[in-house]
A and B are shown apart, each in its own frame.
Chain A
Amino acid sequence: MEYFQHLLIMVLIYACLTVSLDLNIGHAGILSFGHASFYGIGAYTTAILTVYAGLDWFSAMVLAFATGAIIAALIGLPTLRLGGDYFILALFGFSLIVTSLIINMEWLTNGPFGIRGVPRPSIGPYQVQSGYGMLGFIAIMTAFIFFVHWRFASSPMKAALHAVRDDESVAMSLGINVVRTKITVFALGGGFAALCGAMGAFYFRFVSADSYGLQTIILLWAMLFVGGNCSLLGAFVGPAVLMLFPEMFRFIGGQGWDIGHIQEALYGLLLILLMMFRPQGLVGNKVGLRT
């Protein structure tokens, strides 16, 4: 039961990450191959502010969002005007730098050891406990994040984003400030990823640099493309499939084989097959996926 709770919480956190990545990739065509860094930045901001600075959880969470958004805006400002491949590389280079800085700036991040003892959130006298309390907290956060993204996708903002994604010149000819739109939406993606980092920090009560690298980046892309672009449902389906599917192997039990590698092999194979046979994902719309 506890394990099931853990899986559910993980699916929810990843669903939130996926929906924030979808805002960038699916809706705005910004191929953010560094999304995991903002997740990491949010987690570390939360841990540093609560553990070292003694800030309360809510302020730390708000500041984590702001930090993720500001850093995304700063890195997006010079890089978002680059063409597709260049932007992918720039963002991945950025994420390698972030990982390296987290490991090397020991005075701030405690280096490779990570930061322990992130407090649980509390509301008034009530402290969120592990188990159902935590599940409830994560579920409420998820509901909030999905509500916001649903509002984005059901407002005139969607048309403006899709216009920028599909043809920047036409978008500007229609009065859309393309540069500002892209930076704004990239900052929002970074902010929400950082918020997910805060959720993860509250849940695990521990942050460490190795959870925000290439593997996580690929996992997030896989989740998005398994579920499908521009789809709130897809943002649930992708993480659910990728988190729960490998669990079957635990019961089948590959003898002596490392379950993690079987998982990775499956992700890789799934990505290839999806691109061949169902590039729009399992429940996604037939849009997006362009450079």
Chain B
Amino acid sequence: MTAVLDVKGISKRFGGLAAVDNASFTVEEHTITSLIGPNGAGKTTAFNIVSGFLKPDFGKVTFAGQSIEHLEPHDIYRLGMARTFQDPRVFQEMSVLDNVMVGVRQKGETPFWAIVRGAEVNSQWKAARERAEKILESVGLLARANEAASALSFGEQRFLSIARALVGEPRIVLLDEPTVGLDRGTFGQLVELMKNLVSKERKTILLIEHNMDVVMSISDKVVLMMQGTTVASGTPAEVRSHRSMVEAYLGKRHVAASQ
């Protein structure tokens, strides 16, 4: 297996606080890699560095063989990496379908081609719509495509935000705590969706997740972060067997949950 994403020694300080401190990990293609660690460990900050929202003070990020730590978020998206945020952050006033279609980059969104149109612009637009509908169907929201996104429940908005990240056909998606706030039913649905993305759609997922059951059951690889540093990484079984370490940093509750 080749590492599609290679993060080497990244660090980021906010004032005096080292939010990320010499963290390294790799993500192999067509796998699910989970980033775990207590609150404030620097997982979201690491996401922000990888996706271009923050420039690291030190370190390198290589995606598909290209170094990207100096690139802007929109460039990184165009290279095939999409992300979600901890909150769904859907565009409340847009329709559900429009929300998803925002994720499709196309010629017709530049002023000149918006005026002139032409066959290519129109067919791109049509294709974007079809793809958005297909993805909405896969997350179970197609029936509500024309409603305002604000009409959706929190859980549905979470699915919408994931659909929006998927519509551009990224190679890798970064999901920041996607299961938080979901009820039992939708929770299972989301786990299924993630599994399918990897097994059927051949995507790669980098996941921040607190629920150890999910982490242990779907991850191919687990990376443990503590105080900004990656302290362990390996298969779920391997990381679980770092029992004393997990206990020391995560507390007994997480250990219990992981068994």
Contacts and interface: CB of A to CB of B under 8 A. Distances in A.
Direct touching of A and B (C-beta under 8 Å): yes
B94 A159 contact: yes
Contacts of B92: 166
A185 to B, nearest CB: 8
A269 interface: no
Interface string B162-184: 00110010000000000000000
A278 interface: no
Contact of B111 (A152, A171, A176): A152
A76 B111 CA distance: 17
A250 to B, nearest CB: 40
B202 interface: no
B103 A175 contact: yes
B239 interface: no
Given A148-B115, A152-B114, A159-B102, A175 B108 contact: no
Contact of B78 (A151, A155, A175, A188): A175
A174 B111 contact: no
B73 A172 contact: yes
18 contacts: A151-B115, A151-B117, A155-B121, A156-B104, A156-B109, A156-B114, A157-B110, A159-B102, A160-B102, A160-B109, A163-B102, A166-B94, A167-B91, A172-B73, A172-B74, A174-B164, A175-B103, A184-B111
Interface residues of B, number: 36
Contacts of B226: none
Given A152-B114, A159-B94, A167-B91, A174 B103 contact: yes
A177 B93 contact: no
A93 to B, nearest CB: 27
A111 B239 CA distance: 77
B26 interface: no
A286 interface: yes
B221 interface: no
Interface of B: 51, 53, 72-74, 77-78, 82-83, 85, 89, 91-94, 98, 101-106, 108-111, 113-115, 117, 121, 125, 128, 164-165, 168
Interface SS of A by simple majority = helix
Contacts of B102: 159-160, 162-163, 171, 174, 176
A108 interface: no
Interface of A: 148, 151-152, 155-157, 159-160, 162-163, 166-167, 169-178, 184-185, 188, 286-287
A174 B82 contact: yes
Contacts of B113: 155
Contacts of A178: 74
Given A173-B53, A176-B102, 9 more contacts: A151-B115, A155-B117, A156-B101, A159-B101, A166-B91, A174-B74, A174-B165, A175-B105, A178-B74
Contacts of B109: 155-157, 159-160
B96 to A, nearest CB: 13
B91 A162 contact: yes
Nearest to B90: A170
B82 A155 contact: no
Contacts of A162: 91, 93-94, 98, 102
Contact of B74 (A148, A176, A286): A176
A152 B94 contact: no
Contacts of B89: 167, 169-170
